[in-house]
């Protein structure tokens, strides 16, 4: 078979490229929603943990957060995904919802530690300056500390979301039709592994390169403020 014939067989005939398209769609959707959950929950955990570290308050919440982080970071993501899909949603088949939750909770743990290190790296004088003006602790956190911490950890966060995007490929374990699964669906019909997998790899690569560029641009525009 010529290159053209193999290409046509794998991607054109019977509209097989659509497996890849809907796969990209699902992969991106899972990444975006999991990242959103990860950011929201991760920032919350980071604020609780760093508030505890600097003021000694929120002991119980801090303890719960620590358990959460230990469990999430101490078990494989695949196992977490399988637990959400087969155990928590055992009676209904909800692969997408399971992926949102599993990757969202997983990502939150990593985001939390990144953001916490960002908060702890801010000079304590910033909190004191805010408080000395009469701003409350939460106000100073929101308007003074978090914006600076966010800027500092943006590269690490960007990296975390790129890892997340690639890690969603383990959705194959719950037969979720993401990009990786799409390549396998094509292979199962054409008995060709190389073309679909290389196409899948190339698509991941293009998305990652694009995201890297996007985050870099965002970072540069945020840095402009302080040269």
Partner 1 sequence: MNGEVLLDIQGLEKHFGDNRVLRGITTQIRKGEVVAIIGPSGCGKSTFLRSLNLLEEPTGGKIFFEGAEITGPDADVNKIRRKIGMVFQQFNLFPHLTIRRNITLAPVKLGLLGREEANRRADELLARVGLPDKANAYPSQLSGGQKQRIAIARAMAMNPDVMLFDEPTSALDPEMVGEVLEIMRELAESGMTMVVVTHEMGFAREVASRAVFIDEGVIKEDNAPEKFFTSAQNPRLRDFLSKVL
Please pick, from the candidates 63, 86, 143, 213, the single residue that binds partner 1 as defined by CB under 8 A.
Answer: 143
Residue in the structure block whose two tokens are 């692969």: 95
> Is 175 among the residues that bind partner 1 (CB under 8 A)?
no
Please pick, from the candidates 148, 159, 169, 187, the single residue that binds partner 1 as defined by CB under 8 A.
Answer: 148
Nearer to partner 1, 13 or 123 (CB): 123
> Is 126 among the residues that bind partner 1 (CB under 8 A)?
yes
How many residues touch partner 1 (CB under 8 A)? Answer: 21
Give the three-class secondary structure for 94. coil
Using CB under 8 A, which of the segments 37-45, 92-100, 135-143, 210-218 binds partner 1?
Answer: 135-143
Nearer to partner 1, 16 or 52 (CB): 52
Please pick, from the candidates 147, 156, 169, 208, the single residue that binds partner 1 as defined by CB under 8 A.
Answer: 147
> Is 120 among the residues that bind partner 1 (CB under 8 A)?
no
Using CB under 8 A, which of the segments 7-15, 20-28, 146-154, 180-188 binds partner 1?
Answer: 146-154
Say if CB 99 and CB 30 are below 8 A apart: yes
Say if CB 50 and CB 153 are below 8 A apart: no
Say if CB 85 and CB 68 are below 8 A apart: no
* 159-195 b/e (C-beta count within 10 Å ≥ 16 → b): ebbbebbebbbbbbbbebbbbbbbbbbbbeebeeeeb
> Is 169 among the residues that bind partner 1 (CB under 8 A)?
no
**Shortest Å, Cβ 190 to partner 1:** 54
> Is 56 among the residues that bind partner 1 (CB under 8 A)?
no
Question: Which of 120, 113, 114, 106 lies closest to 157, judged by CA?
Answer: 114
| Residue 78 Cα distances to 73, 103, 173, angstroms | 12, 10, 8
Say if CB 121 and CB 50 are below 8 A apart: no
> Is 133 among the residues that bind partner 1 (CB under 8 A)?
yes
Binding site for partner 1 (CB under 8 A): 123, 125-126, 128-136, 139, 143-144, 147-148, 151, 225-227
């Amino acid at each position: 078979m010529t290159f053209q014939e193999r290409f046509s067989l794998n991607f054109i005939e019977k509209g097989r490229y659509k497996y890849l398209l809907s796969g990209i769609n699902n992969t991106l959707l899972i990444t975006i929603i999991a990242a959103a959950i990860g950011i929201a929950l991760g920032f919350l955990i980071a604020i609780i943990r760093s508030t505890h570290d600097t003021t000694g308050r929120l002991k119980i919440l801090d303890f719960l957060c620590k358990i959460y982080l230990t469990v999430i970071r101490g078990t494989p993501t695949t196992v977490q995904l399988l637990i959400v899909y087969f155990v928590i949603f055992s009676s209904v088949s909800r692969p997408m919802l399971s992926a949102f939750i599993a990757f969202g909770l997983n990502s939150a743990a990593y985001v939390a530690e990144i953001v916490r290190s960002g908060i702890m790296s801010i000079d304590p004088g910033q909190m004191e300056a805010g408080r000395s003006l009469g701003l409350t602790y939460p106000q100073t956190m929101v308007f003074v500390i978090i914006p600076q911490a966010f800027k500092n950890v943006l590269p690490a966060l960007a990296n975390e979301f790129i890892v997340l995007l690639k890690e969603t490929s383990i959705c194959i374990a719950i037969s979720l039709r993401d990009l990786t699964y799409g390549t396998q669906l094509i292979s199962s019909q054409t008995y060709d592994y190389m073309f679909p997998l290389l196409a899948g790899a190339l698509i991941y690569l293009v998305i990652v390169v694009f995201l890297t560029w996007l985050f870099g641009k965002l970072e540069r525009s945020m840095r402009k403020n302080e040269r």
